[in-house]
């Protein structure tokens, strides 16, 4: 479903999207549209994009097309989801050890909505690190 979502074609666009958004969480998925894991993630993101439009906006970035952030954000996974709020990177404690990003595909829409909501709640209170509603340290189990 990635073709329905907004793609950011350059680094400038990515910067602007993060900078300009005043009161919504900006979720950016870094990866490739053709990647299977990204496809699964995009499906979920597209499914929730309408629901969360009041407090979050979702963009897709092709890391081959826009390699500017690869080093800074250490985008070495197939699929990476990052959250920003008022030009600030919001970290999220998922229990995985990597608090900077979600680097796997989330397939449950409600889970995704919950995560975005949590990020919004924490970020709007000025927190830089929020705790995810669920512990993903043992996600291999699910």
Partner 1 sequence: MSLADSLLADLDGLSDGEPEEVQASSSNGGMMPPPPLPSKGTKRSLLDDLEDDDDLDGGDGDLKMEDGTSAAGYVPEGGVRPADELDQDEVNRTDLAGIEDVAKVAKLMTGKKLKEVLEVSHAQAERYALTAKGIARYTAEPTDMSSSSGGPLEENPEYHLVVTANNMSVEVDNEIMLVHKFIRDHYGPRFPELEQLIADPWTYIAAVQGIGNVDDLTKAVMPSTLPPATVLSITLTATSTRGRMLSNGEWLTVQRAIEVAEQLRDAREQIFNYVESRMSAVAPNISVIVGTGIAAKLLGLAGGLHAFSRAPSCNIMLYGAMKKTLATSHLSAVSQQRHTGFIFQSPLVQSAQPEDRRRAQRVVSAKVALAARIDAGKSCRDGSYGRKLLVDLQKRIEKMAEPAPNKMIKALPIPQETARKKRGGKRARKLKEQYAQTELRKLQNRVEFGKAEEEIDQDDESVGLGMIGQAGRVRAQVADTKSKAKLSRANKLRTQMLGRSALTSDAGSGTQTSLSFTPVQGIEIVTPSLSAAQRVKEANDRWFASGTFTHVRKD
Residues of this chain that interact with partner 1 (CB under 8 A) are 50-55, 113, 117, 120-121, 124
- What is the nearest approach in angstroms of partner 1 to the Cβ of residue 121? 5
Cα torsion 48, 115, 28, 62: sign: negative
How far apart (Å, rounded) are the C-alpha atoms in residues 5 and 57?
A: 10
- What is the nearest approach in angstroms of partner 1 to the Cβ of residue 124? 8
- What is the nearest approach in angstroms of partner 1 to the Cβ of residue 130? 12
In the complex with partner 1, the residue whose CB is nearer, 54 or 64, is 54
How far apart (Å, rounded) are the C-alpha atoms in residues 91 and 119?
A: 8
- What is the nearest approach in angstroms of partner 1 to the Cβ of residue 14? 24
In the complex with partner 1, the residue whose CB is nearer, 16 or 53, is 53
How far apart (Å, rounded) are the C-alpha atoms in residues 30 and 79?
A: 6
In the complex with partner 1, the residue whose CB is nearer, 13 or 109, is 109
How far apart (Å, rounded) are the C-alpha atoms in residues 119 and 51?
A: 15
3-state secondary structure at position 49:
helix
In the complex with partner 1, the residue whose CB is nearer, 37 or 114, is 114
């Amino acid at each position: 479903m990635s073709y329905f979502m907004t793609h950011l074609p350059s680094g400038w666009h990515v910067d602007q999207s993060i900078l300009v958004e005043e009161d919504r969480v900006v979720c950016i998925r870094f990866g490739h549209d053709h990647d299977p894991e990204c496809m699964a993630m995009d499906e979920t993101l597209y499914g929730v994009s309408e629901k969360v439009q009041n407090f979050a906006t979702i963009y897709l970035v092709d890391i081959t097309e826009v390699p500017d952030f690869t080093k800074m954000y250490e985008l070495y996974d197939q699929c990476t989801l990052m959250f920003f709020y008022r030009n600030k990177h919001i970290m999220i404690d998922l229990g995985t050890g990597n608090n900077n990003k979600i680097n796997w595909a989330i397939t449950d829409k409600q889970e995704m909505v919950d995560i975005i909501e949590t990020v919004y709640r924490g970020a709007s209170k000025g927190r830089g690190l929020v705790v995810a509603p669920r512990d993903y340290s043992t996600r291999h189990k699910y």
